[in-house]
Structure 1
Amino acid sequence: MAEPQQELDQAQQAHQTLQEVSDALDSGRFVHVRRQLQDMEPEDIAHLLEASPRKSRDVLWQLTDPEDYGEILDELNEDVKDALVSQMPPEKLVEATEGMDTDDLAYVLRSLPDDVSKEILGQMDIADRHRVETALAYPEDTAGGIMNTDVTTIRGDVELDVVLRYLRMKGELPDVTDALYVIDEDSRLIGHLSLTTLITTQPDIQVCDVMDDADEAIPVDASDSDVASLFERRDWVSAPVVDENQHLVGRITIDDVVDIIREDAEHSMMSLAGMDDDEDTFAPVFQSTKRRSVWLGANVLAALAAASVSNMFEATLEQMAAIAVLMTIVPSMGGVAGNQTVALVIRGLALGHIGDSNKKELLLKEAAIGFLNGLVWACIIGGIVVVWKDDWLLGGIISAAMLTNLIVAGIAGVTIPIFLKKMNIDPALAGGMALTTITDVIGLSVFLGLATIFI
């Protein structure tokens, strides 16, 4: 119980700090706010900035120590980061990025205007500039885009005592270092030496005799979601990144992977509502309106498709009011059942559980679930309608429509996300809307069609 309670205390403390800072800003106690900010960690300041309205945010940014700008920018979501960066003169940005890790600096530079990025790169020394340009050369959502090029390498033909002397002379190691990477004369990765092995093994033994093989390196073009899955399954703290020729180009650490997992979770949650996961909570009204209108427009088209089906059976609806009362039940049940399947499939795709080898079995399984659920709920809903309306024919019609729609929902819930994934469309963004449209159209068509034929 200690950890959940600690997290709750931290959340309450963050909320209390936000309220205190807000009250201090409202009363004009800027010196007090500056002192509070000086006592806070960069990630906490980033959280405070994201949770503050835009006017308060601008004031907080001015009161923040410029030496912390770089670390804070790295912690902010893109919308908030871009808004603050756009107000900073180039010389301030250059100062803010000094001393940042290459992966963090690459993240910030990607959102800057080209002339500002070039100015920042131009003021770096050749070695640092080369490392950053290497990271920028890869897409942002790949292992190359998130890796840090600051790695410690050793040769395999030296003794451990030599390695220890080298590390003492070096004086420091990159953050989150749990292993040293062993390379050959062509900079190809041949293994890694854990710090535990280095410390606990006799110093006169050669590195090649105690190192682990390099069979767990990450390809530089691997997607960030695949990287996160590997870290989760293997319980890694860090991992090397190699190009197609096995040359060591960088490493990825667990702190970067935690960010990926968090961003993927936010993306999935926001995509279900048709929103950008990087959207600023306190973004300008017109900017937010424009973004959300696109999704609302797509939903209008889906609603019109379902409405057009009802319009085709207008004469049937006019003749029997009971049909109009009951017509929403079938598409509603299909939508709920289908969205359950969509959520399951999206999760399976994200975790790499679903592929060409097993998608047929998954399709048959979900169709069977739809059939069994359809039988159960067709009997239940049909029975309720018979008792309620005293009409066996109407009960049979809604039962048939319910069974059909739940089977369709199960099949569509599997096929839609897989199809969208193949088309490079985010299933989390479009899967739910597409599924709802299909279940609405099929459910209404079957129910109203049968009613038109038999009643």
Structure 2
Amino acid sequence: MGEQIEFDQAHQTLQEISEALENGRFVHVRRQLQDMEPEDIAHLLEASPRKSRDVLWQLTDPEDYGEILDELSEDVKDALVSKMAPETLAEATEGMDTDDVAYVLRSLPDDVSREVLDQMDTAERLRVETALSYPEDTAGGLMNTDVITIRGDVVVDVVLRYLRMKGELPEATDALYVIDEESLLIGHLPLTSLLTAQPDTPVTEVMDDADEAISVITSASDVASLFERRNWVSAPVIDENLHLVGRITIDDVVDVIREDAEHSMMSMAGLDDDEDTFAPVVKSARKRSVWLGVNVLAALAAASVSNMFEATLEQMAAIAVLMTIVPSMGGVAGNQTVALVIRGLALGHIGDANKRELLMKEAAIGLLNGILWALIIGAIVIVWKGEWMLGGIIAAAMLTNLLVAGVAGVTIPILLKKMNIDPALAGGMALTTCTDVIGLSVFLGLATLFI
């Protein structure tokens, strides 16, 4: 109920601001923006057409730029950042986490990125350059270098005095990291342990071992899986020499999980997960036409099968009427399996040790569903058309195609994954092409032989 009220309020605000912009009431819009939270302004920008978005960005307080950029989707963020002067962008990134600054700079041309770095102070520039040295989709690209470290040879009271002197902690801090004189990570001290321990207790007695450290080259998806399984709020990141180089917090992992979910959903339609809802027409059309072209090739492959049996189709109209049923059922059944396998691959549930068992399971499901629906569809055709032979043929084709759909639904995503092709992007289309071609071939082939 609360979420619905919040959604309605956001929609009403968007409507009010849109009307104010159309009427030229820019002062009114500026005042409204000043009263809004950065995440709400980000939502407003994403929900606005491009012309209105540019005006809203100019009316927004530059001091809020950094927090707003933090909340924007990639496509919208890139469009706004590309129009900002290097000095303005450098000021905007002052309040951003290191990993977010690194992402923004990656989207800029090298010369502009260098200009922005030159505008930063030395300490901040070094932190950002460290983050930029790692690939974006790794723990190194996700990590924030803003960490608090302590030595293991001090007592709890010294640590508490140090924190009081420091005055504040980085966001999402739930532990301090214990290092030795060579910056090697030797453990972490949870804040709960720090606050409940006796002041004269050595840190080494209350700290936990450094078994939760993440390698700097770990993929972002693996990092998300680790956080999910172990319920972490934050985790240290170490390099190949076990030196502490940063930490990853739960807010960064939530972004990874959300982006992965959006990627899977949008990829199934052949779209980029970061595509702007109000992107230019030509840009959007160009992106989508590539996928449509691939789909045309798949459709032509299925059509060529029908063309091979043109004589059979001319002789019996009933076959032409029924021929879409078999590939359609195979496509639905296969896509169910594909969705299950893609999810299992994303969660790390499927590997060499269990893929054979999964294949046998889905084949068995395909066989059982094939028998069930072969009997049902066969009986319907016999009653409807009065043709026993036609009913038997469509039943045999249905059984074959549902069995193939189960097997292909497992093997296609796994093969695509091994070929470094995104199963979410190509799995559904490859499966549908397979079931269309096999379903039509079996049905029309049997009809040619027996009818």
Interval containing the TM-score (normalised by the shorter chain): over 0.9
Cα contact 2:70–2:96 (8 A) shared by 1: no
Aligned to 1:66: 62
Query: Quick one: which amino acid aligns to residue 197 of structure 1?
Result: S
Q: Could you report, residue by residue, the CA deviation over 1:279-299 in whole angstroms, capped at 9, with x for unpaired residues? A: 110011000000000000000
Cα contact 1:74–1:108 (8 A) shared by 2: no
Query: Quick one: which amino acid aligns to residue 142 of structure 2?
Result: I
Q: Could you report, residue by residue, the CA deviation over 1:258-304 in whole angstroms, capped at 9, with x for unpaired residues? A: 11111111111100100001111001100000000000000000000
Match of 1:326 among 319, 322, 325: 322
Unaligned stretches of 5+ residues in structure 1: none
Match of 1:247 among 240, 243, 263: 243
Q: Which runs of 4+ in 1 moved over 6 A?
A: none
Aligned to 1:454: 450
Query: In percent, how many aligned pairs have the same letter?
Result: 84
More moved, 40-49 vs 435-444? 40-49
Distance in structure 2 (CA, Å) of the matches to 1:65 and 1:100: 16
Q: Could you report, residue by residue, the CA deviation over 1:73-102 in whole angstroms, capped at 9, with x for unpaired residues? A: 122112111211222222221221223221
- 5 Å-filtered alignment, 1:172-321, equals 172-321=168-317
Distance in structure 2 (CA, Å) of the matches to 1:104 and 1:86: 16
Cα contact 1:74–1:107 (8 A) shared by 2: no
More moved, 411-420 vs 111-120? 111-120
Aligned to 2:127: 131
- 5 Å-filtered alignment, 1:362-377, equals 362-377=358-373
Match of 2:415 among 408, 419, 443: 419
Cα contact 2:331–2:405 (8 A) shared by 1: yes
Aligned to 1:339: 335
Distance in structure 1 (CA, Å) of the matches to 2:173 and 2:242: 21
Aligned to 2:110: 114
More moved, 430-439 vs 216-225? 216-225
Distance in structure 1 (CA, Å) of the matches to 2:241 and 2:341: 35
TM-score by length of 2: 0.99
Distance in structure 2 (CA, Å) of the matches to 1:194 and 1:12: 41
Match of 1:159 among 152, 155, 158: 155
Deviation at 1:378, TM superposition (A): 0.2
More moved, 286-295 vs 92-101? 92-101
More moved, 260-269 vs 93-102? 93-102
Distance in structure 2 (CA, Å) of the matches to 1:161 and 1:294: 63
Task: Work out the number of aligned pairs and report it.
Answer: 451
Cα contact 2:90–2:120 (8 A) shared by 1: no
Distance in structure 2 (CA, Å) of the matches to 1:217 and 1:322: 65
Distance in structure 1 (CA, Å) of the matches to 2:182 and 2:364: 56
Cα contact 1:271–1:428 (8 A) shared by 2: yes
Distance in structure 1 (CA, Å) of the matches to 2:438 and 2:97: 54
Deviation at 1:331, TM superposition (A): 0.1
TM-score by length of 1: 0.98
- 5 Å-filtered alignment, 1:347-426, equals 347-426=343-422
Distance in structure 1 (CA, Å) of the matches to 2:250 and 2:4: 24
Q: Could you say what secondary structure the match of 1:87 adopts?
A: coil
Deviation at 1:122, TM superposition (A): 1.5
Unaligned stretches of 5+ residues in structure 2: none
Distance in structure 2 (CA, Å) of the matches to 1:405 and 1:232: 38
Distance in structure 1 (CA, Å) of the matches to 2:70 and 2:103: 7
Distance in structure 2 (CA, Å) of the matches to 1:232 and 1:39: 35
Q: Could you report, residue by residue, the CA deviation over 1:2-32 in whole angstroms, capped at 9, with x for unpaired residues? A: xxx2222211111111111111111111111
Q: Could you report, residue by residue, the CA deviation over 1:375-425 in whole angstroms, capped at 9, with x for unpaired residues? A: 000000000000011111111100000000001000000001111111111
Distance in structure 2 (CA, Å) of the matches to 1:10 and 1:261: 23
